Amino acid sequence: MSRSLATAITITDVLFMTYWAIALLALIGVISLPAEMMYGDYLNQRVQAWNWSFFPLDVAFAVFGFLALSAARRGDPVWRPYALISLVLTMTAGGMAVAYWVILLEFDPSWFLPNLALLIWPLFFMRGLIRGMAPEPA
C-alpha cells in the first residue's frame, strides 16, 4: 500500500470515528455542541436522524479501512479488496451527503467541502487498486 493511500485512509477513518464519538457523547448528554457550528437544521430531529443514518456506512468504511491498513502491514494481499471496499463506501457516504446539500442548495463550506472531498479523494487510488487485483494476462 502506498504511503499516500495509507495516510488518506488513516486520516479519514480516525477523523470519522472521532466525529461519531463526539456525536455519541452529545447524543447521551455528556457534551453540548453549539447548534450554530453544526450542519443546517441541526436541531431538527429529522435532520439529526438523516445524519445518524450515515453512522453504519461510516463505521463500515472505517472498519474496512483499518482492516486494509492492518493487512498491508502484514504483507497480506487481502489489503487491496479491503481498501477498495473502504474507498467505495467512503465515496458513497460523501456522495450521499453532497447530493443532500445540493438538493437543499446549501453550500456551507464547513460541511459541503469535506463531503465533496470524501467523494473525490478515493478516485485517485481506485484505478491502481483495481489493476492490482486484476489477474495477470496469460
* Span 2-34, pLDDT tens digits: 999 999 999 999 999 999 999 899 888 898 888
The gap between the terminal CA atoms of the chain, to the nearest Å, is: 25
Those residues of the chain that have pLDDT short of 50 are: none
Residue with cell 459541503: 112
C-alpha cell belonging to residue 71: 493487512
Spell out the domain ranges in the chain: 3-133
- Structural contact between residues 13 and 66, judged by C-beta atoms closer than 8 angstroms: yes
**What sign does the dihedral 31-32-36-42 (CA atoms) show?**
positive
Give the model's pLDDT for residue 27: 85
Give the model's pLDDT for residue 44: 84
Q: What is the rounded distance in angstroms from the CA atom of residue 120 to the CA atom of residue 105?
A: 20
C-alpha cell belonging to residue 11: 486520516
Report pTM.
Answer: 0.88
